[in-house]
Chain A
Amino acid sequence: MSGAGFLLDLHRCVGCGACVLACRIENGRTDTAAWRRVLPLNLRRHPGGPTYFLSVACHHCDDPACMKGCPSRAYEKRADGIVVHREDLCLGCRYCEMTCPFGTPQYDEARGVMSKCHLCAPRVDASRLPACVAACPTEALRFAAAAAAPPPEGRERVPGFADPAGCRPALRFLAPAGARRAELFRSLEEALKR
């Protein structure tokens, strides 16, 4: 099965950060930067656009730029779609930090290697959900199996980030619903098209 990745329901995500903490606990990211981040959009609630939150980690791209940029073949695109990074092969050259357009790989100063979200591959291999997905209190963040299902009635699935590097991120979003958010999101999309 290929296409493992995250699906984020922008209507359900409240930007609480439980996913970030669950990732820290699961992956031992105690005193270092977290692999997952929550980016709030429009906290000022400007009436021109919706307020929502992007919970993002690695997008587990179909054609990963990190992997292409790695001279030591420390990255692997697994058959199920998960992009894993092997620290034992990593030179710490930080090329992937430059090639990934999303700023995903992080340099670990203490150990001199890169690190990034591996979609909780050990959990996935044991048929468990990634820690961030399992922890999400509002069930906004989901795993590929759910991502493959058709979106709920009246909800639109939108592609992930803009993709200038052509690496085809596997991250997908469900567009905001609710009167105000949906209306504002439409106006935002139209503005982007213009």
Chain B
Amino acid sequence: MLVTLDDGNRIVSIEGDPDNPATGGRVCLKGLSYARRVTCADRLLTPLRRKAFGPGFEPVGWDDALGEIAERLGRVRDAHGPAAALYYEASGSHGALGGLSMAFWRQFGGCTTTFGDLCWPAGLEATRLTYGDNRHNHPTLTTESRLILLWGHNPAETNVHQWRLILDAQSQGARVIVIDPRQTDSTDAADVHLQPRPGTDAALALGLARVIVDAGLHDTGFLGAHAQGFDEYRQRLDEFTPEAAASITGLAAGSIRTLALEYARTKPALLIAGFGLQRHSRAGQTMRAVALLPALTGNVGVPGGGWQYANLASHCLRPLRLPPEPAVSRAFPVSQVARHLSTLDDPPIRAAWIERGNPAVQNPAAHRLREALARLDLVVVVDQFMTPTAALAHFVLPAKTLFEEEDLVTAYWHPYLQWRAKVLPPPGEVRPETDVWRALCGRFGYDTSYFPADREACLEALLPAGCRLEDLKARPLDVSGFGDVAFADRRFPTPSGKVEFASGQAAAMWGVDRVPGYEPLGEGAESATRGRFPLQLLSCKTRDRIHSQFGNLDWVRAVERPHVLDIHPDDARARGIADGSRAVVWNDRGRIALTARVTHGIRPGVVHVLEGWCHDGDPDVNVLTAEGLTDMNHGATFYECLVEVAQA
């Protein structure tokens, strides 16, 4: 995006970069809201130290703060070893320089970190196992589609730039079909909407495949040349008649048949899967089942066709220069912070450094995580605002915004690597994290040469061969060399070199069946605990937040949607819940109270709360969610969550 300042360094405009074809030169409201964010009154501008007596914080100088932090970190390490310190980083203020924190921790002797991801890892791994790589067609080719199937995806709320292209395709005659248990702004504009039970998508995908194969609509030419294990997969389809898939998914068999035939007969067809259908324990196998449909119908390597989940084409930076790996390192899955903070021993966690994240509300078992953080000897949080995580810290260090330090930014959807210029000096006492780490290294007498005096030279060294910073400063660049049509050459970097309908790697790495199948969720429509907790809770995203960011700003609050409990009239009536009344939602893990919205826009048996705690009054939904793991790649299981609801 392009930022214009006046003589007083005030932002007078934020506009989309016209050289980025994916956005068409437009910015979403979150990008625009930075005009407020950088200067708003509640931004943290000075280091804070928790008061020795009484609640709250007091301002403290950087020297005192870092001196005391260094001393207390040193004490923790001397008493328990370096692994007693947890370093937790998330993806806020996303950029390449964040990784320099490890220049400190490696010299510290190591630390405990997290692995996996709360968001998207199972779908990434399923795509990699199937196609060999996470890449997809250039966004602008969306308009060449004749049919766009959005599966568990709501771009009208979560990717407005993609939605613009989908609407363009629709206005040129493409059919838009959405599979989602909820009505959303995307389903409102769609031509067809199917509302299956959450967590049954694998059965739906295999049911669709069965209809396609029975009708002889699979692309035998493509499959003969480019499919690995198709016969094994075909046997799996025996179990998934449309009627069997219908009874699992709660859809009509006729709808499954109709969708399958329309998807297979309309070319080119684009299948876009959201991250939502992989936020449960069967995530990887589900995503493999869905991801195979484009290959089955010969929609791979075709403009206007394809499989889209996430595009990692821009994730091509070279590694930062860091000290050698330390002797001690320990890690646990990021979805299980609460559990490990409480139970790890040898050594126990005694200190935590948290930056670019807000685990006290955004991670599963949030209330237990908060309790565990409150018991530590030292908690340091780096943030722009006093988040619920920062409120638990001993020291809160003020963080930069994306306008206040140069960096390189990669993307999730379009293929462009982008230069992020420093357009403003950090306000107040704010220092970029890289400067904080350098200063802390200085305190410990460590080598500070890993922190560049010249950030541009440091970033230039991260660029892939043939890419110059000078060119990147002029415009976003696709440096992947993959071309606009993914897999146009039909070369798949899988072990077999083909699209893997059966994957030996999936079995060997993750202990799952070679061929994707359907298994009921541990906590879902078919599980025994439904007797006590009969409703499936989804906690989805919408347009005005990225998790717990942006919603704190008055500008954004003025346009945000209500954060309420969506419940179907049938479920509400059975519990005596009136629209607009207070409801309690609970399970064995926790309990929240919030306003109910009785809506036809959700499947009976399913309730929904928007995730993302931004301000007082927002639902603390992650006290309900479990610390489960996805079947592959260490993801979280936010959407595998049964609850009961009653009048407050």
Contacts and interface: CB of A to CB of B under 8 A. Distances in A.
Given A138-B163, A179-B190, A14 B559 contact: no
B36 A30 contact: yes
Given A46-B600, A180-B188, A138 B183 contact: no
A52 B188 contact: yes
A152 B33 CA distance: 32
Nearest to B24: A139
Interface in A8-58: 11-12, 14-18, 20-22, 24-26, 30, 34, 38, 40, 43-47, 50-52
Given A14-B163, A16-B544, A25-B32, A177 B189 contact: yes
Nearest to B176: A178
A25 B167 contact: no
Given A30-B36, A138-B167, A17 B559 contact: yes
Nearest to A55: B559
B188 to A, nearest CB: 5
Interface string B579-622: 10000000000000000011111000000000000000000000
Interface stretch (B9-17, B236-244, B306-314, B529-537): B9-17
Contacts of B231: none
A137 interface: yes
A18 B29 contact: yes
Contacts of B14: 22, 25
B597 A44 contact: yes
A18 B15 CA distance: 11
B189 A181 contact: yes
Given A34-B558, A178-B190, A139 B164 contact: yes
B29 A45 contact: no
A149 to B, nearest CB: 14
Nearest to A12: B167
B543 interface: yes
Contacts of A7: none
Task: Identify the interface centre among B33, B35, B559, B597: most chain A CB within 10 Å of its CB.
Answer: B559
Given A14-B543, A51-B188, A180 B193 contact: yes
B183 A45 contact: yes
Interface in A140-181: 152, 176-181
Given A17-B29, A178-B188, A45 B164 contact: no
B594 to A, nearest CB: 15
Contacts, number: 125
A140 to B, nearest CB: 9
B156 interface: yes
Nearest to B160: A137
Interface string B411-426: 0000000000000000
B562 interface: yes
A105 B192 CA distance: 41
Interface of B: prevailing SS: mixed
Contacts of A136: 26
B157 interface: yes
A124 interface: no
A43 B561 CA distance: 9
A38 B559 contact: yes
A12 B188 CA distance: 11
A11 B170 CA distance: 11
Contacts of B559: 15-17, 20-21, 38
Interface in B140-188: 156-157, 160-161, 163-164, 167, 170-171, 176, 183, 185, 187-188
Sort chain B's interface into a size bin. Answer: 35 or more
Contacts of B11: 25
B119 to A, nearest CB: 21
Contact of B601 (A11, A40, A45, A134): A45
Nearest to B602: A45
A21 B188 contact: no
Given A17-B559, A180-B190, A47 B32 contact: no
A135 interface: yes
B186 to A, nearest CB: 9
B316 to A, nearest CB: 27
Contacts of A25: 11-14, 32, 35
B555 interface: yes
B32 A135 contact: yes
Given A21-B35, A24-B555, A45-B601, A11 B28 contact: no
B32 A181 contact: no
B161 to A, nearest CB: 6
B27 interface: yes
Nearest to B33: A21
A40 B561 contact: yes
A26 B33 CA distance: 12
A182 B26 CA distance: 27
A110 B421 CA distance: 36
A134 B156 contact: no
Contacts of A179: 190-192
Contacts of A52: 188
B160 A14 contact: yes
Contacts of A178: 170, 176, 188-191
Task: Identify the interface centre among A25, A30, A180: most chain B CB within 10 Å of its CB.
Answer: A25
Interface in B320-372: none
A16 B597 contact: no
Contacts of B171: 152, 177
Contacts of B12: 25-26
Contact of B164 (A24, A47, A138, A181): A138
B562 A43 contact: yes
A113 to B, nearest CB: 22
A40 B185 CA distance: 11
Contacts of B183: 45, 51
A181 B189 CA distance: 6
A51 B188 CA distance: 7
B600 A181 contact: no
Nearest to B166: A138
Contacts of A46: 600
Contacts of B16: 135
Given A11-B167, A20-B558, A134-B15, A44 B599 contact: yes
Nearest to A11: B189
A36 to B, nearest CB: 10
B13 A14 contact: no
Nearest to A134: B15
Contacts of A45: 183, 599-601
Given A17-B556, A136-B26, 16 more contacts: A18-B27, A20-B555, A20-B559, A34-B555, A44-B597, A45-B601, A51-B188, A131-B13, A135-B27, A139-B24, A176-B189, A177-B170, A177-B171, A177-B189, A178-B190, A180-B188
Interface of A: 11-12, 14-18, 20-22, 24-26, 30, 34, 38, 40, 43-47, 50-52, 131, 134-139, 152, 176-181
20 contacts: A15-B185, A17-B559, A18-B26, A18-B28, A20-B559, A21-B29, A21-B36, A24-B36, A25-B13, A30-B36, A45-B183, A51-B183, A135-B15, A135-B32, A137-B26, A137-B163, A138-B163, A139-B26, A177-B170, A181-B188
Question: What 7 pairs across the A-B complex have the smallest Cβ distances?
Answer: A17-B559, A45-B601, A21-B32, A137-B160, A178-B189, A18-B29, A14-B156
